Chain A
Amino acid sequence: MSVAELLWVEKYRPRTLDDIINQKEVVERLKVFVKERSMPHLLFAGPPGTGKTTAAHALAHDLYGENYRQYMLELNASDERGINVIREKVKEFARSRAPEGVPFKVILLDESDNMTGDAQQALRRLMELYTASTRFILVANYPSKIIDPIQSRCAFFRFTPLGKDDVVGRLRYIAEREGVDFDEEALDTIYEISEGDMRRAINVLQAASVMGRVTVETVYKVVGMARPREVREMLKLALSGDFMGARSLMRKLMLEYGLSGEDIVRQVHREIFSQEIKIPEELRVMIADYLGEVHFRLVEGSDDDIQLSALLAWLALMGRRLK
């Protein structure tokens, strides 16, 4: 056994198109591009954890070989600061050395559906401008958020949630390779919880393996722990009227987990629709409504601590009206 370990999502990621066992139709079409050394711009769409980015990397690997990453510009629309940054990087990359035997380099733009309509228009111009030397692979969760002019310039690939056999089969393969002790039902449970998201499934398996034998019970434990329980506690305290208690948990979440205001808002949003929080159904909607306002103010650049304090004060008020 080697001393160093990686995240299994990295360790067991398919490196070549041949390694990819699912999304068969997609893979077959991609292999044709490799064979012909020619391809249009591509749009990969589908839910998280279905292998979109992995397929893009495998495609580039098969096109350019082991050192494929020098011929691929990896951009993430949610991490880059605006279309201007993207434009500069694309410009610079387009000028860089061309690969041997393939007439184009690849630009991978992940989470491209997070771009605004204006940014996408600018992107479309970029795609036209550099089409001689580069091909774009756009990756998106929701293809409907990609503007039509871009969609019409791309070959469209739909990635579907992974089936049970694929997920459980992969989990079993990893577990056996890693010498993990497991119950067969635990793998079924992981599949159900991860809803066809392979990344989440593998993460749950790895985290559960640390706790000893992987059972249905440890799987649920991991899933519960993946969301800091302080979020739920904070909500409950606020709704019970304990503003100060709720706020000190909020600060703990920020300090110990490094969560930002937006992170916390997202997690609260998830919690309010959970049955663990016992409140009238219409209050869930009211909270969601107010949460949207808080979220918006955070996006506009308002102070995390104050916006969340306002949220907690509002929850304390709502909680008291319930009594």
Chain B
Amino acid sequence: MDDRIPWVVKYRPRRVEEVVGQDEAKRVLREWLKQWAEGRVPERRAALLHGPPGVGKTSLVEALAREFDFDVLELNASDYRRKSDIERTVSVAARKKPLFKKGLLILMDEVDGIDPKADEGGIEALVEVVKVTGNPLVFTANDPWREQLRPLRELCLMVEFKGLSETAIVSLLQRICESERLQCDREALKLIAERSIGDARAAVNDLQAVAEGYGRVTLDIVRALIKGRDKSLDIWRTLNNIVYARQAWMAKKAVTQSEIDYETLITWLNDNIPKKYTEPEDLYRAYEALSRATLQLTRSKTTGEWSLLQYVFDLLGPGVTFARTSGTISKERYGFPEKIRLAMQLRTVREIREKLAEQLARNVLASKSIVKNEIIPYLTIIFRNTSNPVMAARIAIGYRFDKETVKFLAGPNADNIIKTIEKIRRAKPEEVKNEKIEERVEVKKQPKVKEEKTVKDAKSKSTGSLDKFLKRS
């Protein structure tokens, strides 16, 4: 077998006994499928398996199907969510007879991803299939309590899957270690298990990441790796645990147990909430929570009252989770925050504007805020005018703007202005030189102290929170 194969695939349970925990679910589901296998149609023709990600929903279905010699037709609800898709695929499959095996089981993943608006009629179509299906039909969902799933819930056998205990995950990891002939510390496995928050898939992925990098799994390595390694997996899991949490304590745990610092988490939430929450009401409520979280964070920092932080966690976790009342969770992937990419750029632009405001404030005798609101907008018009770059160029010479300032003011027109400045300089180099001296007399009188201070301020700012925050991420 290729060693590169993900362990989550390699060690996917093949027999029901290999599925970790979930005894109740195993019993109920086996009973249900047995009826189908014996040719009896159960009272409920479909089962809805629900629970957090990575606890064995799909695995158990596959293992049971193998046990009863059923074929499995796996569909992902995100691929077949509209009424017409469902009629084309699921309805057809529901009437099909298996070719070689005893029966055919239809497994449809992630039905909570069907959007009541965008995928109108999807749920209704499924309900119709459930009523008449001649083959066992199994749905899975992270969150089955959505309003739009209600008609489906009423018809389905509801099977709950619980988050896995740490002990269960540790013993799973131990088995893998033995099979891979890996040297594994029990403490290291415990740490991995603890961080997985009941998600076996995540734990196995982490184990593989450590093992492949170091050939052994010790507590030190796990600790170090967790700190130093690319955190995207961690972030992904934290976001997912927040978004899909079913109870407030779960969402809170997702935040407090995450290795991600809260400022990074806030940035990721800021960019990913609109990807996952599509309902305007949900989106607003989530942002209100996020906004209040950042407010509490600032308050806790400025007052030094760290006990206020717990409210930040409340708002980031449950606040975001339960902002969602009706809408579905979009299947769109989590993305790297645009804001982090833009942060550097943004800081530069702001510094240029600030510097310009400070310079002009002295010249036009007004506050920086007046300059920003009453002067810079007009300068921008002058500098962005494409047909007449001369005035802008002359002003740039008059105030000795540097290139960055010209770029800031002129935007896409910057090259035009810069070329014109150079043209003027070449044509009348002497005059440009004299002008500089002549026009700047007043500035020379200004004490230099203020400028030095600005530089200092800018420096102290740059070592401030933004830098830290960039480093952390």
Contacts and interface: CB of A to CB of B under 8 A. Distances in A.
User: Are A and B subunits of one complex?
Assistant: yes
Most buried by B among A3, A255, A301, A317: A3
A243 B370 CA distance: 31
A309 B432 CA distance: 46
Contacts of A254: 346, 349
B366 A53 contact: yes
Contacts of B298: 300-302
Interface string B318-358: 00000000000000000000110010011001101100000
Given A4-B394, A310-B291, A256 B280 contact: no
A122 interface: no
Interface residues of A, number: 68
Contact of B445 (A2, A69, A211, A301): A69
Counting chain A CB atoms within 10 Å of each CB, which of B377, B385, B392 scores highest?
B377
Contact of A306 (B266, B387, B399): B266
B93 to A, nearest CB: 36
B127 interface: no
Interface stretch (A97-105, A123-131, A169-177, A220-228): A220-228
Contact of A76 (B368, B387, B392): B368
Interface stretch (B42-50, B94-102, B435-443): B435-443
B132 interface: no
Interface stretch (B57-65, B107-115, B281-289): B281-289
Interface string B358-387: 001111111111101111011111100101
A41 interface: no
Nearest to A257: B380
Given A53-B366, A305-B270, A225 B381 contact: yes
A274 interface: no
A2 B435 contact: yes
A24 interface: no
Contacts of B399: 6
B388 interface: yes
A79 interface: yes
Interface stretch (A148-156, A183-191, A199-207): A199-207
A252 B243 CA distance: 28
B299 interface: yes
Interface string A225-258: 1111000000000000101100100010011111
Given A4-B398, A256-B411, A309-B270, A263 B424 contact: no
A207 B384 CA distance: 10
Interface string B10-29: 00000000000000000000
Interface string B288-300: 1011001100110
Given A6-B398, A210-B381, A79 B291 contact: no
Interface string A285-323: 000000000100100111101110110011011011000
A120 interface: no
B397 interface: yes
B408 interface: yes
Given A5-B395, A207-B381, A227-B377, A306 B367 contact: no
A84 interface: no
B397 A297 contact: no
Contacts of B363: 6-7, 10
A87 B362 CA distance: 20
B181 interface: no
Nearest to B427: A3
Nearest to B323: A313
B375 A222 contact: no
Interface in B223-277: 266, 270, 274
A67 B44 CA distance: 95
Contacts of B435: 2-4
B446 A226 contact: no
Contacts of A49: 374
Interface in A3-52: 3-7, 9-10, 13, 48-49
A300 B299 contact: yes
Contacts of A111: 367
B9 to A, nearest CB: 35
Contact of A316 (B283, B346, B350): B283
B339 A211 contact: no
B463 interface: no
Contacts of A222: 378, 381
B431 interface: yes
Given A4-B436, A306-B290, A211 B353 contact: no
Given A7-B360, A69-B442, A255-B342, A210 B368 contact: no
Contacts of B345: 255
A117 interface: no
A319 B369 CA distance: 32
Contact of A297 (B281, B295, B408): B295
B388 A211 contact: yes
A314 B382 contact: no
B151 to A, nearest CB: 25
A313 B391 contact: no
Contact of B394 (A5, A48, A247, A314): A5
Contacts of B307: none
B179 interface: no
A53 B365 contact: yes
B360 A302 contact: no
A310 B288 contact: yes
B457 to A, nearest CB: 9
B472 to A, nearest CB: 15
Given A48-B370, A211-B388, A316-B284, A4 B439 contact: yes
Contacts of B372: 263
Contact of A9 (B299, B349, B364, B387): B364
A57 interface: yes
A320 B280 contact: yes
Interface of B: 266, 270, 274, 280-281, 283-284, 286-288, 290-291, 294-295, 298-299, 302, 338-339, 342, 345-346, 349-350, 352-353, 360-370, 372-375, 377-382, 385, 387-388, 391-392, 394-395, 397-399, 408, 411, 424, 428, 431-432, 435-436, 439, 442, 445-446
7 contacts: A5-B397, A5-B398, A199-B364, A211-B388, A241-B280, A302-B294, A307-B294
Interface of A: 2-7, 9-10, 13, 48-49, 53-54, 57, 67, 69-70, 74, 76, 78-79, 110-111, 199-200, 203-204, 206-207, 209-212, 222, 225-228, 241, 243-244, 247, 251, 254-258, 260, 263, 266, 294, 297, 300-303, 305-307, 309-310, 313-314, 316-317, 319-320
Given A3-B394, A297-B291, A306-B266, 14 more contacts: A2-B431, A3-B435, A7-B395, A13-B364, A53-B366, A78-B368, A199-B374, A227-B377, A258-B353, A302-B298, A303-B294, A310-B290, A313-B284, A314-B284
